[in-house]
Amino acid sequence: MNIKILGSGCANCKKLQVATQDVVTALGVNATIEKVEDLQLIMGYGVMRTPALVINEKVKAFGRIPSKDELKKLIQDEA
């Protein structure tokens, strides 16, 4: 599974990255988590508000930090 956190490196982007890593670890899912800070790459996903969560190249959330329960569901749905 490939997970990307899109954002400029703001506090919310970092919080989303930590929360995502926590959920992946708790679920025992084999996933690569990548931080994408390049604005052109972020815009390529059609995302205009960060942070954004991309799982297996599908935008799952943007402009907010999903709860850990929501992250768990989003990750399990793609596993």
Q: For the chain, which domains are there?
A: 2-78 (3.40.30.10)
* Phi-psi label, residue 55: left if phi above 0, alpha if psi -120 to 50, beta otherwise: beta
pLDDT digits (tens, 9 = 90+) for 3-50: 999 998 889 999 999 999 999 999 999 999 999 999 999 999 999 899
Question: For residue 79, what pLDDT band results from cuts at 50, 70 and 90?
Answer: confident
pLDDT digits (tens, 9 = 90+) for 43-72: 999 998 999 999 999 999 999 999 999 999
Active site residues: 10, 13
Cα-based distances in Å from 60 to 18, 42: 17, 14
Do the Cβ atoms of 46 and 62 come closer than 8 Å?
Answer: no
Q: What pLDDT score was predicted for residue 23?
A: 97
Q: What pLDDT score was predicted for residue 48?
A: 87
